[in-house]
Amino acid sequence: MNDSEEKTTGASFAEVGEVIANHQSFVIMSHVRPDGDAIGSQIALGFSLMALGKTVFLVNEDGVPESLEFFKGSGKVTTPPSAPLDVEVAIALDTATKPRLGEGALHAASKAKVWVNIDHHVSNPAYGDLNVIDATSPATGQIIYGLIKALDFPMPDETRDAIYVAVSTDTGSFQYGSTTAKTYEMAADLICCGLDVGKINADTYDNNPFRKLELMRALLNTLEISDDGKLAHWELREATRIELDLQPDDSEGLIDLIRGVKGVLVAAFFEELEGGKIRVSMRSKDKGVNVCDVASRFGGGGHTLAAGIRMVGPLEDARAKVLAALAEALNTEK
Ligand code: AMP
Ligand code: MN
Ligand code: MN
């Protein structure tokens, strides 16, 4: 994309439909350290386009994490090939900033002449040629559902199940305030289309490796809470990651344990990554305390109530800076 060209923001589903109708080959990507919404949205849109007869590559910088391998169609998602793919269109899903697609994925997509950016992060700067950014949607998977319905695209089983998991994982099992009537109507429709609720929820939530509990125990040993009880945090050191032989997705969702404590308004998780960078994960229970704003101050982003940062270490420094910013946000709570 040429930076001097005007960018379309808030593209309609019909405009995205035109791009799809007018091209044959696509690479569909999502963010590094993918979650259920990232991989689910890729599979959902990818299998629908394949059912339309399109040539589709599903690429993720880090591949499919072990906890999401149960997705029907997950075998189609690969890590980036070393040479750029011969594709006309690149589609980024659930990815707040272009660099969060990862260097390898960006290289794989470098021959694409049209970029489509579909996301629900309020901080997304609309980096595509066509951008569908709906910050009112609880998950990118729900936007994909809307797109497929609006354009009357096929809904193979892989797509149906992937949409459900994408939305379920991004809404804390249809619990967060972002969950709307549309979300439940969508889930009902997917069940009418043959989705097996019991099985898919068991696959998603009752399938944890034992080491995830060991991680929980290690995290609990680092748990701290502010004097006023509003800010709780814990951390994961590299030594623990090595000792427990952890996978990157083992910590997925654990922050909800401290978010769930009575009186806690903000939860934060600090993790040492290989190479010395620090990953910060934050959750707020109060819209007056906007963790996306705090994340943005350190080059991160996300949503008002759930946001993240990747910043330079060491962990002590990153933790001190972010905790100070969070304490300030709590003190100026709107
Ligand atoms: P996490 O705490 O990793 O589950 O992330 C919470 C939300 O913030 C998710 O929607 C992420 O996509 C988003 N997010 C996490 N890290 C970053 C980052 N470094 N930049 C922008 N958005 C992020
Ligand atoms: Mn995501
Ligand atoms: Mn998402």
pLDDT digits over 213-234, tens only?
Answer: 999 999 999 999 999 999 999 9
Q: Which residue has the tokens 């629900």?
A: 120
Please confirm whether the linkage preceding 209 is cis (ω < 30° from 0): no
pLDDT for 77 equals 98
Correct CATH for 210-331 of 3.40.50.300, 3.90.1150.10, 3.10.310.30, 3.40.50.2300:
3.10.310.30
To test the pocket of ligand 1, the residue of 100, 252, 296 to mutate (highest count of ligand atoms within 8 Å of its CB) is 100
Beta carbons within 8 Å of 196's beta carbon, 6+ residues apart = none
CB distance 300 to ligand 1 below 6 Å: yes
256 CA → ligand 2 middle, Å:
15
Torsion over CA: 168, 170, 172, 178 (sign): negative
Domain 3-205: which topology?
inorganic pyrophosphatase (n-terminal core) (3.90.1640)
**What pLDDT tens digit does each residue of the chain (334 aa) get?**
434 344 556 899 999 999 999 999 999 999 999 999 999 999 999 999 999 999 999 999 999 999 999 999 999 999 999 999 999 999 999 999 999 999 999 999 999 999 999 999 999 999 999 999 999 999 999 999 999 999 999 999 999 999 999 999 999 999 999 999 999 999 999 999 999 999 999 999 999 999 999 999 999 999 999 999 999 999 999 999 999 999 999 999 999 999 999 999 999 999 999 899 999 999 999 999 999 999 999 999 999 999 999 999 999 999 999 999 999 999 987 6
2-23 pLDDT, tens per residue? Answer: 343 445 568 999 999 999 999 9
Domain positions in the chain are 3-205, 210-331
Q: Among 40, 61, 328, 39, which residue's Cα sits nearest to residue 159?
A: 40
Question: How many of the other CB atoms lie within 10 Å of CB of 62?
Answer: 18
Question: How many of the other CB atoms lie within 10 Å of CB of 265?
Answer: 22
Residue with CA closest to ligand 1 atom 7: 307
DSSP 8: P
